[in-house]
Amino acid sequence: MVLGVLGLEPAVEAVYAALLQHPQSDLAGLLTLTRLPEAGVRAALDDLADRAFVRPSRDTPGGLRVVSPQIALDLMVRRQEEDLARRAQQLAASRAAAAEAVAAFGSLAPNTPVDGAERLVGMDAIDAKLEVLAKELRRECLSVMPGGAQSQASLDASRPLDADALGRGIAILTLYQDSVRNDPATHAYAHWLTDNGGEVRTAPLLPPRMLIFDREVAVVPVDPADTKAGALCTREPGIVASLTAVYEQAWATAVPLGAAAPRDTGGGLTGTERELLALLARGMTDEAAAKRLGIGLRTVRRQMAALMERLGASSRFEAGLKAAQRGWL
């Protein structure tokens, strides 16, 4: 059995395997079978009981009854699904709160600090502020870089700041969209970050662009749909905390750069294909979906055509129905 992917430690898995093969084993028997220390076996049994992989025996007072893998794993997966749904709700609430708070600062005069907040208008003003914040960094920088491939100008501007921070032992955590794996320049930069001690993960969909410095200062677009509106630099604790929560939720579900993007167990969908179906099912146009996913319009249309063929659908509407019936949405 390989249950580590579901959160079981090797010792817990070993005790569970021993119980499956020898259901009547007591503590002494498990110590012999697993060759683990007594404290380790007891801790594993507690973990298995918490997960409902073992239950109190009705035949042997004080004993345990091992639950079959099929039932135990089904229960674990359902719990994980419930946890993901709960986290998704928390993420949506955090996003909404952060967006509302950021919008409230849209009326600030450009490039004029007011009570710890500053609306930055123009790339020169933004770059100048980022240089100052990068020099003040003490612990970590969290960043979200949506939109797929990054411009060469953006990468060139980021490299000296990132190099200086990494050289000072600053933790740099960066989120890109999955589509950067297909862009040589951005992919090379991401690998440079990881090679020098940074951490990079990717996901099909990301929150709006953001930079969070030491969980104390955040720089975000005033309006993600209008780059001319500029960026907001804020030290407001409530806004920074909300943005950090959004970041942590996105980071937890993203895939490390060195790992292959996972395929969904339902229908063998990639993460991008699943998100594409969901976006188009909500009525989003091909153009808007391409922008959200950071991929080309022709790629969206090619992937959608392939999905419709797999579903045996002759229209987008029919494809949405069949995808929902198969549990893909």
pLDDT single digits (tens) 162-175? 999 999 999 999 99
Angle at 254 between CA 210 and CA 13, to 5 degrees: 145
pLDDT > 90? residue 212? yes
Domain ranges of the chain: 4-67, 80-256, 271-325
**What's the chain's average pLDDT?**
79
Query: What pTM does this model have?
Result: 0.53
Who's near 79: CB < 8 A, 6+ residues apart? none
Q: Domain 80-256, what fold?
A: Endonuclease; Chain A (3.30.870)
Per-residue pLDDT tens over the stretch 114-173 = 556 788 888 888 888 888 898 899 999 999 988 777 888 888 888 888 999 999 999 999
Fold: same for 4-67 and 271-325: yes
Q: How do residues 271-325 score in pLDDT, each as one tens digit?
A: 777 777 777 766 678 888 787 777 778 888 888 888 887 877 777 767 766 776 6
The answer, yes or no, to whether residue 9 has pLDDT greater than 70, is yes
Q: Which two tokens stand for residue 177?
A: 């969209």
Question: Under CATH, what is the fold of the domain 271-325?
Answer: Arc Repressor Mutant, subunit A (1.10.10)
Residue 324 CA to chain centroid, in angstroms?
Answer: 23
Identify the pLDDT of residue 267: 56
Fold of 4-67: Arc Repressor Mutant, subunit A (1.10.10)
Q: For residue 211, what pLDDT band results from cuts at 50, 70 and 90?
A: very high
Decide if pLDDT at 260 tops 50.
Answer: yes
